[in-house]
């Protein structure tokens, strides 16, 4: 039940946030920040539920991009075994299992700079159709897309396309040199035009400043419409990547994650805010704080794409202990 006391924060949806406004929200006294986020959250979402999503890496490693965080970049020795595109049957068997385990969204990730043409792309379209036929939401993240590819994915029934902006435009060049922010924005535009919903978020803990975090949030929150899905990742440090020893992660911790999530929730009231990579470094209490801050989705299962994630039964125990549940 929503308790109205006459002092509820306003949650008019806006697309013209300034960095200063975002900074002010992000730095509110913590109780005030969480109160505002939770109040807005309750207006648009059921606070007892989180959506379970399952990830599958359909094409692993050997990526030509040089994203400094990524274990799948061919530029770094990370020990990730390369794997060509999975068979359609294999991917759909995974999707069926994910459904059995309570996921309602199935996300297929591929380590490509841009989505391929020809046979491989046709296989991905078959995977999308198969996932939709199981009654699951289907999401893909395949790198950059042309307008035509976005349209084909839409026709196959794709629910969402994940394409992260990762950080602020100013810091982007420190993390990735093989593509530009504008190329990222162009793909997001193709996805939007095709009528596929947008999943777009970023990573904290890469050595960016808070100002970079405000900058990312501004890029996300000033898209009209807002991305329907906003994954907030905490860097998973992977040996061999340039960010393997990123040491300020200790101070990033749960409170920074909660501030990031709460601010995203306030700026984008109706979006799904996903507590994504990094949950293994968060305690149960820290994750509970992220839910309070307005996160309403998690990736389930012991693996993200290539890195570990909490076991299903740990997540089930966590939700049980919080009196929360997976969205049916």
Enzyme catalytic residues = 63, 67, 70, 107, 139, 199, 274
- What are the beta bridge partners of residue 238? none
For the chain, how far is it from start to end, CA to CA, in angstroms? Answer: 20
Percentages helix, strand, coil for the chain, rounded to the nearest 5? Answer: 40, 15, 40
Q: How far is the CB of 72 from ligand SF4 (least distance, A)?
A: 4
Q: Which of 91, 204, 277, 318 binds ligand DTB (CB under 6 A)?
A: 277
User: What whole-number distance in Å separates Cα of residue 200 and Cα of residue 121?
Assistant: 22
Is 70 a binding residue for ligand SF4 by CB under 6 A? The answer is yes
Show the site string, 87-126: x = touches ligand SF4 by CB under 6 A, - = not.
------------------------x-x-------------
In this structure, what are the phi and psi dihedrals at residue 203, rounded to the nearest 5 degrees?
Answer: -125, 140
Query: Looking at 41-49, 64-72, 89-97, 152-160, which segment touches ligand SAM (CB under 6 A)?
Result: 64-72
Q: How many residues bind ligand DTB (CB under 6 A)?
A: 17
**Cβ nearer to ligand SF4, comparing 45 with 184:** 184
User: What whole-number distance in Å separates Cα of residue 112 and Cα of residue 103?
Assistant: 25
- Tokens for 110? 């591929």
Q: Which of 56, 236, 258, 326 binds ligand SAM (CB under 6 A)?
A: 236
Residue 73's binding partner, choosing from ligand SF4, ligand DTB, ligand SAM, none, with beta-carbon cut-off 5 to 8 A by kind? ligand SF4
Asked if residue 229 lies in contact with residue 105, where contact means CB atoms within 8 angstroms, the answer is no
In this structure, what are the phi and psi dihedrals at residue 286, rounded to the nearest 5 degrees?
Answer: -65, -40
Q: How far is the CB of 8 from ligand DTB (least distance, A)?
A: 30
Query: Looking at 21-29, 108-116, 126-134, 267-275, which segment touches ligand SAM (CB under 6 A)?
Result: 108-116
Is 112 a binding residue for ligand SAM by CB under 6 A? The answer is yes
Q: Which of 163, 213, 259, 327 binds ligand SAM (CB under 6 A)?
A: 163
Residue of 226, 211, 206, 215 whose CA lies nearest to 169: 215
Q: How far is CA 56 from CA 67, 95, 127, 326, in A?
A: 20, 8, 11, 19
**Cβ nearer to ligand DTB, comparing 38 with 326:** 326
Residue of 201, 169, 187 whose CA lies nearest to 19: 169
Q: How far is the CB of 289 from ligand SAM (least distance, A)?
A: 19
Residue 107's binding partner, choosing from ligand SAM, ligand DTB, ligand SF4, none, with beta-carbon cut-off 5 to 8 A by kind? ligand DTB
Query: Looking at 4-12, 104-112, 115-123, 265-273, which segment touches ligand SAM (CB under 6 A)?
Result: 104-112
- Tokens for 268? 């984008």
Q: How far is CA 215 from CA 106, 212, 222, in A?
A: 29, 5, 11
Q: Which of 141, 167, 241, 297 binds ligand DTB (CB under 6 A)?
A: 141
Stated length of the chain? 328
Interaction with ligand DTB in 214-233: which residues (CB under 6 A)?
Answer: 231, 233
Q: How many CB atoms lie within 10 A of CB 287?
A: 23
Residues that bind ligand SAM (CB under 6 A): 69-70, 72, 109, 111-112, 141, 143, 163-164, 166, 203, 233, 235-236, 238, 277, 305
């Amino acid at each position: 039940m929503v308790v109205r006391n006459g002092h509820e924060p306003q949650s008019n949806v806006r697309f013209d946030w300034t960095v200063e406004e975002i900074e002010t929200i992000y730095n509110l006294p913590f109780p005030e920040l969480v109160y505002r986020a939770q109040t807005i959250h309750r207006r648009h979402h059921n606070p007892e539920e989180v959506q379970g999503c399952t990830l599958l890496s359909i094409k692993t490693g050997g990526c030509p991009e040089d994203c400094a965080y990524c274990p799948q970049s061919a530029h770094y020795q990370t020990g990730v075994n390369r794997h060509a595109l999975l068979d359609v049957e294999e991917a759909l068997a995974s999707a069926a299992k994910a459904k059995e385990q309570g996921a309602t969204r199935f996300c297929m990730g591929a380590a490509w700079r841009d989505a391929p043409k020809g046979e491989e792309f046709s296989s991905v379209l078959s995977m999308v159709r198969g996932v939709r036929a199981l009654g699951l939401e289907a999401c893909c993240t395949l790198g950059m897309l042309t307008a035509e590819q976005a349209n084909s994915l839409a026709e196959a029934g794709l629910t969402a396309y994940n394409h992260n902006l990762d950080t602020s435009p100013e810091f982007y060049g420190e993390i990735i040199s093989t593509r530009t922010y504008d190329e990222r924005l162009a793909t997001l535009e193709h996805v939007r035009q095709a009528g596929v919903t947008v999943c777009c978020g970023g990573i904290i803990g890469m050595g960016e400043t808070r100002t970079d975090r405000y900058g990312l949030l501004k890029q996300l929150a000033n898209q009209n419409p807002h991305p329907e899905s906003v994954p907030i990742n905490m860097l998973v440090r992977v040996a061999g990547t340039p960010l393997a020893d990123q040491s300020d992660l200790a101070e990033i911790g749960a409170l920074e994650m909660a501030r990031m999530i709460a601010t995203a929730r306030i700026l984008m009231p109706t979006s799904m805010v996903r507590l994504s990579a990094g949950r293994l470094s968060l305690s149960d209490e820290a994750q509970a704080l992220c839910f309070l801050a307005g996160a309403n989705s998690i990736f389930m299962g012991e693996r993200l794409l290539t890195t570990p994630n909490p076991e299903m039964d740990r997540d089930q125990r966590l939700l049980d202990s919080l009196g929360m549940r997976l969205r049916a």
